[in-house]
Amino acid sequence: MLVLGDSLSAEYGLSQGTGWVTLLASRLKSQSLNATVINASISGDTSSGGKTRLWSLIEKYHPSIVIIELGGNDGLRGLSLAATESNFRSMISIAQKNKAKVLLIGMRLPPNYGHTYTEKFAGLYARLAQETGSALAPFLLEGIADNLQLFQPDRIHPIAAAHPRMLDNVWPHLRSLLK
């Protein structure tokens, strides 16, 4: 299982081993599910960076599941939604051509980016999942985003106490791929 993500998956600002990806590996082990989790997340990564790195990661690890937790930095930078969508389509295609199941992890943006951009950004994940047959965890920060106490001082990165909830937001959608 390969996690291709940004700072939300790379344990930015956290003690090592407290992020949701590490918690995922522990949960898999505790449930006797034989899966190795490779965390290939990089703080600051965009969909373009993920697309660039994915092929070599697949060649190296041969994952049966690719979890894509990217796009937040694209949105925060106001990058073209068409370019972000194209990058996601490429990543999904690369994974599926290599016989990996794909789980997209959705993200939302703060309202100050404008209603039209934020709505189109949020809808991108569901549309791509439906069109490509990928699984979708609709919003990584569900139940967290509105509680500033669950964020580091930058108000972007959740504290360690929020990461179990992040895993719970991903787990049911990932669990269905483990069958």
Query: 7: which residues sit within 8 A by CB, 6+ positions away?
Result: 41, 43, 44, 45, 156, 157
| Catalytic residue selected from 43, 90, 157, 168 | 157
The token pair that represents 83 in the structure block = 């370019």
* Cα gap 39→2, rounded to integer Å: 6
* Cα gap 121→112, rounded to integer Å: 13
| Catalytic residue selected from 6, 7, 47, 74 | 7
Q: Is 7 a catalytic residue?
A: yes
Q: Is 62 a catalytic residue?
A: no
Q: DSSP of 25-41, one letter per residue?
A: HHHHHHTT-----EE--
Catalytic residues: 7, 154, 157
